[in-house]
Amino acid sequence: LVADLTDAGALRRVEALLRVRGDIAMLVNNAGIGSVAPLEGGDVEAMDRMIALNVTALTRLTYAVAPGMAARGTGTIVNVSSIVAVATEMMNGVYGASKSYVLAFTQALQHEFGAKGLRVQAVLPGVTATGFWDTLGHPLERLPAGIIMSVEDLVDAALAGLAQGEQVTIPGLHDGAKWT
């Protein structure tokens, strides 16, 4: 199902489909856009589109599947946030705030649905080798190679964290003392 989740009508169609399906076992909320633009002189319409995708779409799709999962007593929701959720000064403030929302919303879902058989995980990746950076106008070639994670390594780390029951997985962070 192809849909522009920033389009309210398209988002509602996806929600309706998810709501009536009784067999959704896993929702991975991975759609998102970012920005490095400063607030001063920034494009508020672009920020509104970012909130629509990073926050509103994620919330609505979760609302579409979580009640059914809870009724069945099983299901998994993986919300892809960003390390910027806890280091908001690293990029655009609206982007950081949207990713902080994803983390907080995921923690609330864990509290509400954990005892009902749902597994809920937030994944907070750092720099990952995707087209995200080109879209921002900051090609990966400009970043230190040592901080870039491949998509495959990100997925492996997220799935390993999920299998271990981690509620928050920070791929690439192998030494918890470094984060602390």
Q: pTM here? A: 0.90
pLDDT digits (tens, 9 = 90+) for 12-56: 999 999 999 989 999 999 998 888 888 888 899 999 999 999 999
The answer on pLDDT for 172 being more than 90 is no
Residue of 95, 101, 105, 133 with catalytic role: 95
What is the per-residue DSSP string for the chain?
----TTSHHHHHHHHHHHHH-S---EEEE---------STT--HHHHHHHHIIIIIIHHHHHHHHHHHHHHHT-EEEEEE--GGGT-GGGS-HHHHHHHHHHHHHHHHHHHHHGGGTEEEEEE---SBSSTHHHHHT--GGGS-GGG-B-HHHHHHHHHHHHHTT-SEE-TT---HHHH-
95 is catalytic: yes
The answer on pLDDT for 179 being more than 60 is no
89 vs 124: which has the higher pLDDT: 124
